[in-house]
Structure 1
Amino acid sequence: MEFSRTGKLRVKTAMTPLFLLFVSNLLVPALPEEILLPPQPENVIISGSQLTWTPAAENAMYTVEYRREGARKWQNVSECVRIPSSSCDVSTIRNAERCVRVRVRAERGGRTSEAVEACSHHGEPCSPEFSLSPGPGSMTVSLTKSSVFNTRHADNGNHLIYFGREGERLQKYEEAASKTFSSLEEGRRYCARVQYGYFSEPAGPPRCLQCETTLVTETVGTTIITCLVVFIVLIILITFLFYILIFKFKKIKEWMKPPYDIPNLFPERHPEQRVFLPSTSEERYDVITSMTAADGLR
């Protein structure tokens, strides 16, 4: 700033570098820090006492946590804190009386990713078995009760069904038995994940995500027509085979009979070779010349 000849204050148009830096910090928002990606949920699998996952970031360390059934907090698995590998043996935290949930998170450069809970495929007693049955604009989640889990918790145990469109956030439903979702978009892919619940709280690792495509009404009609046509064709073929076997069986045997010649076991002899057997003595008899009726037969 400087004063003019008239005594008025005049501001220089040239701004100092410090002032420019201050203005730029106000106008330009701060860039967000790099987000550390967690392992992909479909790749975090628990099988027995072995937990495996696919690394999501380079040079990242991983920490595995567990939470027993009925507990309120997650705790670190002491053998698997900030490890560079992509697997962990969780046999030390497994309990025969209570189901255990496990999850893994990535760490790098002071940043921590979200924790991803492990799921199981088959053979895990603390994970419910289920299947998806698609229909025209509907999907049924068919559940199979676990005798071990339900015996242990009686009426306090149920199923937590997470259901929704593929690629979208799944909604949670508490169900005691199988559930059918209707009014769905036909020809759209939907996914489900199922987990045991104890007093409405998750218990044990969930069964891994399964996805199916809902059927289209036209497709169902076409399928029914195709099945009917196949059924009719099979009936015709079976009827034709029975006809052949019952009425043409002899003819078929003749067709299948191999050609052959029967040898002449009694060849014809020449006249000079014929053998004449001596004739037996002729039987004697009297010639009847007349017949007279008896008295009693008149």
Structure 2
Amino acid sequence: MALAMLYVLLWIHLVGQAVLCEDLPPPRDVHVDPLLRWTPAPEHSNVTYTAQYRRFDTRGWRDVPACVQTELTSCDVTSVKAKAEYGCVELRVRAEKHNLTSGPVDACSDQGGPCSPAVRLSARPGRLTVHLSRNHSMALEYGDHAQHVVYYGREEEPLQEFERTTSSVTIGDLEEGVRYCVKVQFILFHKSLGPPSCTRCEVIPGSSTNHSMIVVAPIVAVFLFTVFLIPAIAYMLIFHLEKMKQWMQPYSMPESITRPLPENCRFSSIPTEERYEVISFTEESCVRA
């Protein structure tokens, strides 16, 4: 009996440890717009969230006072931005439940702004161009000391740093048909300034796409010729055949033009009174005998 009770207590202890060691899923879609927002994991309830920030001139993370173990899914971070240098802070959110704490998720900016770059992508065969503005507020104030850090990689793989630049860049030697993702963050004097852009992805098109366009173009031209030009010709032949015959008859010169001149007619050249240049013309003059 005592042995049975010991097994029961041991089983309860193991189950309790398993519950405590259960992984708590982190929040999703953490972004700034300009409120800090996130989406909770759907399979968990009674979860609270804590938002944290990091200033440009510091390395440590601090809790946002108004968003510690909150049940809300948004946080007003205006107060911490107001106290930060340049008004820029990096942000992140973690989930908490009882003794469990999820890993933090960094916030991103989908719209861009003074602290986050606006990013646009365009894909070509083997290449992906990251379009960035040189005229953002930090660049206008600090010049080349304000830069973009461009990260890229295949979808669902960790992004790696590609280049630090002040303007748009093109990433080459990419595999066609593969989806690549990019995010960009401002740095000032080689220190991260604010939330990075939210990750954007594009599929690299194949060169066969251009070949197919070359093949399709003549087919479209033949189709348009068949649909529009042939019916127009048929209409003219059916309803305007007589007029077409008249238009196609040989043209006869008037008799007054083909008649020979009398023998007593001569030509005289009379200069015109042009202001800038002299142009001569021929006048027919007939002298009576």
Distance 1:142 1:229 in 2: 35
**Percent same amino acid at aligned positions?**
39
User: 2:31 maps to what in 1?
Assistant: 45
Q: Which amino acid aligns with 1:148?
A: S
Q: Deviations over 1:206-253 (max 9, x none)?
A: 1111111011121222134445766x679979xx8xx99xxxxxx9xx
| Residues 1:35 and 2:20 are matched in the alignment | no
Q: Is the 8 A contact 1:103 1:115 kept in 2?
A: yes
Question: Who wins on radius of gyration, i.e. which is larger?
Answer: 1
Deviation >4 Å, runs of 4+:
227-230, 232-237
Q: Is 1:213 equivalent to 2:203 in the alignment?
A: yes
Aligned length: 219
Residue in 2 that maps onto 1:271: none
Q: Tell me how far 1:98 sits from its aligned partner.
A: 3.3
Shift of 1:168: 0.9
Q: Match for residue 131 of structure 2?
A: 142
**Structure 1 residues 227, 207: closer, same or farther in 2, change over 3 A?**
farther
Which segments of 5 or more consecutive residues in structure 2 lack a partner in the other structure? 234-239, 241-289
What is the aligned-residue RMSD (CA, Å)?
3.4
Structure 1 residues 233 and 45: CA distance shift in structure 2, 3 A: farther
**Once structures 1 and 2 are overlaid, which stretch shifts more, 181-190 or 75-84?**
181-190
Give the TM-score taking structure 2 as reference length.
0.65
One-letter amino acid of the counterpart of residue 185, structure 1: E
8 Å contact 2:152–2:159 — kept in the other structure? Answer: yes
Counterpart amino acid of residue 171 in structure 2: F
1:77 aligns with 2:64: yes
The one-letter code matched in structure 2 to 1:35 is D
TM-score, normalization by structure 1: 0.63
State the 1:125 CA deviation.
2.2
Alignment match of 1:103 (pick from 88, 92, 99): 92
Deviation at 1:174, TM superposition (A): 3.2
CA distance change for structure 1 residues 98 and 151 in 2, over 3 Å: closer, same or farther?
farther
In structure 1, distance between residues paired with 2:216 and 2:54: 52
Structure 1 gap ranges (5+): 1-16, 245-250, 252-298
Write the letter of the residue equivalent to 1:70. D
1:187 aligns with 2:177: yes
CA gap of 1:129–1:224, structure 2 versus 1, over 3 A, is farther
